[in-house]
């Protein structure tokens, strides 16, 4: 997993609420047996019509917006457990998602892939949307060490929560699996007394 | 100290606690399927760890399989590669596979319970969010991502933050024509799609304990649709009767010993939940969804609510519907009965009981996809197949099918599908498809009528039949 420390970038605003993982990556694109290449099908049916023509009005098709931070409406990533959603966002170039609420499984999947979910207050999310609407080149700065999201050149900033364990993993590029493998003898010991009926 | 059902099962599976508050949870059963496992097997090969406990893994092919001519090679090359990769991986790592052609093949959340693999008090995971289904047995069951599939393969454990606990109590008697699907659609319409986020839910109350195991599975199945990681119901006699005698259930003395343990699996009287909700069964009408998430549900004769939210407006535009309108009379072209929510034998029986001697409306394409080969076989033995065919329904072979439209089973753009599945997201059943979630009985009635009707005006036919 890639390390994450700080990130300063312009953003892509997607104010839609309840963006589900079927929108992020539709099921018909889950047929690959590798982790690569999902980015080209990210938000496929919002980006392209049935004739594969780009749809006007969808934010990812607007060349005046760019950046590696996606700012989305509340309850981002609800629905299916498909980790392909996190892979697709990462493969497309996103390194952080900001929202006022994340679905559980998506949040875990993102963290396991070096994609940082930053949960902010509804008010702060609104401020970001307003600033980006008036100035497309507005940059955000995410500082994982200080757990701080700020908007450089403005007075706005907010602390965000992340579990201490997950923070260490991201800062160092560690996977859960490395940690669990290091606990193998303890797991075997647990099995000695664990009764399954 | 008094504990909730969830806490009893969770605590008995804790290997260790990490300083940061995470816990190492031991996993008793790991179900895998073709879509979310290949990248995990790649990781296992790359790390060279091998599988920690291969006997705790069970595999099936369900998400991406055709539901027609399953005996022939899969036509779609990418789908074929994915299913073949599962076969190869199970072969390489010596994992039990109930693949296409096997008499136990089927939707992973249908076969686990019907084979007696799912049992009370277990921890169960699968790379699929509807793993919550198995919670109906008093198990802790939840969906995981592929990185976690790899973790369980390598260590039989997961590193997790302990979820908060919620109890939803439903007391009273359901009205005629109202089923467990209506209960869960009603709950989600009240709590919203994020109302359960961060929680593990226990369903309790007289309306829940009166339900059959299959009806309980439908409720736990959709826990994820309100954001909850999983749902549970305390095991009781109905649970034990269901589990008894199944292929992998404990037998003889072992079964009696198991019951002694399972009898301890309930929330203590003074156990504390982080959140509680209560609803009256009598208030629950037959439900239908009108929008693009499962929380957008109403009583079938209610009007679509009004809202100023942009997301709400976008959703109604996608569905071709308007605020304050009634759905009654709306023409329906497709009916899909299937999915891990409602494809079990009882669901098929309910549909068959209603449509017996009737004909589906001429313009309706009605498809029924049984949840497993065993369900298919039983339906044949009971003559359900004949009843459904005579009523004009198309019967398919087992798989996830049009619930997620990963295979060829898709609904055309702009058309409405009355579906017994679990998600009405945009494009879920095919690009541009418009899904409305209902119970199997409601789906059967609408298939016959060809339009949305107040199903309560039709249920007397069921009672007198």
Residue pLDDT, tens place only, B355-406: 999 999 999 999 999 999 999 999 999 999 999 999 999 999 999 999 999 9
Distance from CA of A153 to the nearest CA of B (A): 30
Range of the domain at B319: 289-457
The reply to whether residue A81 touches residue B121, judged by beta carbons under 8 angstroms, is no
| B201 and B104 within one domain | yes
A86 CB near a chain B CB, below 8 Å? yes
A51 CB near a chain B CB, below 8 Å? no
| B318 and B265 within one domain | no
| B320 and B234 within one domain | no
Summarize pLDDT for A33-92 with one digit per residue, the tens: 999 999 999 999 999 998 899 999 999 999 999 999 999 999 999 999 999 999 999 999
A contact test, residue of B15, B164, B230, B244 with most A CBs within 10 A: B15
Select from B279, B313, B345 the last residue of a domain.
B279
| B318 and B212 within one domain | no
The reply to whether residue A194 touches residue B161, judged by beta carbons under 8 angstroms, is no
| B249 and B304 within one domain | no
CA A101 from chain centre, in angstroms, equals 11
Summarize pLDDT for A115-124 with one digit per residue, the tens: 999 999 999 9
3-state SS class at B133: helix
Does the residue B359 lie in any domain? yes
CATH number at residue B363: 3.30.499.10
| B234 and B105 within one domain | yes
Q: How confident is the model at residue B19 (pLDDT cuts 50, 70, 90)?
A: confident
Does the residue B303 lie in any domain? yes
Residues of chain A found within 8 Å of residue B257, distances taken between Cβ atoms: 197
Res B464: pLDDT = 42
Does the residue B462 lie in any domain? no
The reply to whether residue B155 touches residue A30, judged by beta carbons under 8 angstroms, is no
3-state SS class at B354: helix
Summarize pLDDT for B305-337 with one digit per residue, the tens: 999 999 999 999 999 999 999 999 999 999 999
| B56 and B204 within one domain | yes
| B300 and B198 within one domain | no
B contact test, residue of A33, A37, A88 with most B CBs within 10 A: A33
Contact by Cβ (8 Å): B158, B27: yes
Q: Residue-wise over B421-434: b if at least 16 C-beta within 10 A, else e?
A: bbbbbbbbbbbbbb
Q: What is d(CA B5, CA B21) in angstroms, rounded to the nearest whole number?
A: 21
**Interface predicted TM-score (ipTM) of this complex, two decimals:** 0.95
| B47 and B149 within one domain | yes
| B156 and B46 within one domain | yes
The reply to whether residue A113 touches residue B261, judged by beta carbons under 8 angstroms, is no
Select from B255, B279, B303 the last residue of a domain.
B279
Contact by Cβ (8 Å): A122, A15: no
| B293 and B267 within one domain | no
B contact test, residue of A74, A79, A87, A179 with most B CBs within 10 A: A79
Does the residue B465 lie in any domain? no
Residues of chain B found within 8 Å of residue A80, distances taken between Cβ atoms: 128-129, 404, 423
A171 CB near a chain B CB, below 8 Å? no
Share of residues in chain B with pLDDT > 70 (%): 99
The reply to whether residue A177 touches residue B310, judged by beta carbons under 8 angstroms, is no
Does the residue B332 lie in any domain? yes
Select from B219, B249, B279 the last residue of a domain.
B279
Does the residue B463 lie in any domain? no
Share of residues in chain B with pLDDT > 90 (%): 97
| B351 and B214 within one domain | no
A165 CB near a chain B CB, below 8 Å? yes
N- to C-terminal Cα distance for chain A? 38
Q: What is d(CA A13, CA A16) in angstroms, rounded to the nearest whole number?
A: 9
Tally of domains in chain B:
2
Q: What is d(CA B49, CA A181) in angstroms, rounded to the nearest whole number?
A: 9
């Amino acid at each position: 997993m890639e390390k994450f420390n700080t990130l300063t970038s312009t953003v892509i605003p997607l104010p839609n609420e309840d963006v589900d993982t079927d929108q992020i990556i539709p099921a018909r694109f889950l047929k690959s047996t590798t982790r690569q290449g999902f980015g080209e099908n990210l938000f496929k049916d919002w980006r392209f019509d049935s004739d594969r023509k780009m749809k006007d009005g969808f934010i990812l098709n607007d060349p005046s917006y760019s950046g590696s931070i996606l700012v989305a409406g509340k309850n981002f990533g609800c629905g299916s457990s498909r980790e392909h959603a996190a892979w697709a966002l990462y493969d497309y170039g996103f390194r952080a998602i900001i929202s006022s609420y994340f679905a559980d499984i998506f949040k875990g999947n993102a963290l396991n892939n070096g994609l940082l979910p930053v949960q902010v207050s509804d008010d702060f999310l609104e401020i970001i949307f307003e600033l980006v609407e008036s100035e497309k080149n507005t940059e955000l700065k995410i500082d994982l060490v200080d757990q701080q999201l700020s908007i450089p050149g403005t007075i706005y900033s907010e602390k965000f929560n992340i579990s201490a364990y997950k923070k260490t993993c991201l800062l160092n590029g560690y996977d859960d699996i490395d940690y669990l493998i290091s606990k193998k003898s303890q797991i075997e010991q647990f099995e000695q007394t664990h009764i399954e009926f | 100290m008094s504990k909730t059902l969830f806490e009893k099962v969770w605590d008995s599976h804790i290997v260790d606690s990490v300083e940061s508050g995470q816990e190492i949870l031991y996993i008793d059963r790991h179900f895998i399927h073709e879509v979310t496992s290949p990248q995990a097997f790649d990781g296992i090969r790359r790390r060279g760890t091998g599988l920690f406990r291969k006997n705790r893994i069970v595999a099936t092919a369900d998400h991406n399989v055709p539901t027609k001519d399953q005996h022939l090679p899969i036509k779609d090359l990418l789908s074929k590669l994915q299913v073949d990769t599962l076969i190869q991986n199970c072969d390489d790592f010596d994992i039990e596979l109930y693949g296409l052609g096997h008499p136990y093949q089927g939707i992973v959340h249908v076969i686990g319970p019907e084979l007696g693999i799912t049992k009370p008090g277990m921890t169960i995971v699968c790379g699929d969010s509807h793993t919550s289904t198995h919670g109906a047995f008093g198990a802790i069951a939840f969906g995981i991502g592929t990185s976690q599939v790899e973790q369980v393969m390598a260590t039989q454990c997961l590193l997790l933050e302990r979820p908060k606990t919620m109890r939803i109590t439903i007391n009273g008697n359901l009205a005629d024509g109202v089923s467990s699907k209506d209960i869960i659609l009603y709950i989600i319409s009240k709590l919203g799609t994020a109302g359960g986020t961060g929680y593990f839910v226990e369903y309790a109350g007289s309306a829940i304990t009166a339900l059959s195991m299959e009806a309980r599975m439908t409720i736990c199945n959709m826990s994820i649709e309100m954001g909850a990681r999983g749902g549970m119901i305390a095991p009781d006699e109905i649970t034990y009767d269901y589990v008894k005698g199944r292929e992998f259930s404990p037998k003889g003395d072992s079964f009696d010993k198991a019951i002694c343990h399972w009898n301890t699996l309930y929330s203590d009287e003074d156990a504390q939940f982080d959140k509680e909700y209560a609803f009256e069964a009598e208030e629950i009408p037959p439900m239908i969804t009108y929008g693009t998430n499962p929380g957008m549900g109403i009583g079938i004769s209610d009007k679509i609510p009004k809202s100023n939210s942009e997301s709400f407006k976008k959703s109604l535009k996608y569905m071709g519907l308007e605020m304050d309108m009634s759905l009654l009379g709306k023409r329906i072209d497709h009916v899909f009965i299937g999915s891990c929510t409602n494809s079990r034998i009882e669901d098929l029986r309910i549909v068959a009981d209603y449509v017996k001697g009737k004909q589906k409306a001429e313009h309706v394409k009605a498809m029924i996809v049984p949840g497993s080969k065993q369900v298919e076989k039983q339906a044949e033995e009971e003559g359900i197949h004949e009843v459904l065919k005579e009523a004009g329904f198309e019967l398919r072979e087992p798989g996830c099918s049009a619930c997620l439209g990963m295979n060829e089973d898709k609904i055309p753009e702009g058309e409405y599908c009355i579906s017994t599945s679990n998600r009405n997201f945009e494009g879920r059943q095919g690009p541009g498809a418009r899904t409305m979630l209902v119970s199997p009985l409601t789906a059967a009635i609408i298939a016959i009528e060809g339009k949305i009707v107040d199903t309560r005006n039709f249920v007397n036919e069921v009672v007198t039949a």
